[in-house]
Structure 1
């Protein structure tokens, strides 16, 4: 009985710790998001990103459903767990030029 109680206490504490680390994501209409592609492929590409190109949020439904629109696709609904925010910033190819001089 003591082992059962210890196990239930451990599970409760583990769940509390895990739930405290989850970040709540909120999406608004007009934002850009990335869609996670979870389909199983026969020959998976290890280095290929599973996040699809940016989509626009059209409508946010209660309980986690979000309607999105792609560049060439119609509107469709997805679960918000499959989305993450897309931040437009410096591209990977951008770089800064610095003049390096020898010290005197």
Structure 2
């Protein structure tokens, strides 16, 4: 048994473990960077313009919302978009107010379809 050779062998094993650990750390950093890029690509950007119609998220009932009420109110019309992400909205009564752009979503108006008739389905009687 040579203690110097055993010590040198143990020293090399420790360095090899350290190199493996550093390699794993580099791989995990690459994985995180790729995941962040993928996540940012999947995010939907909200690009609002003046005169767009939007719904406003009603955050007052975030914890306990009354039954059968919508969390979105509106539609409102955008008056001005600020570079910081804040948006100025028109009220129905002529006033305006500023909100965070994250609380908004676009309002898509229903298109009028001409020449299409809808049939009413008969309701079934439970007594039959």
TM-score by length of 2: 0.60
Q: Does 1:96 align with 2:118?
A: yes
Gaps of 5+ in 1: 99-104
Q: How many pairs are equivalent?
A: 94
Q: Which residue of 1 aligns with 2:8?
A: none
Structure ranking higher in strand proportion = 1
Higher-Rg structure is 2
Q: By how many angstroms is 1:3 displaced? A: 2.8
Gaps of 5+ in 2: 1-21, 112-116, 121-128
CA distance in 2, matches of 1:6, 1:79: 38
Q: Which has the higher contact order (CA 8 A, sep 6+)?
A: 1
Q: Which residue of 2 aligns with 1:101?
A: none
Q: Which residue of 1 aligns with 2:36?
A: 15
CA RMSD across the alignment: 2.5
CA distance in 2, matches of 1:42, 1:15: 30
Q: Runs (4+) of structure 1 moved beyond 6 Å? A: none
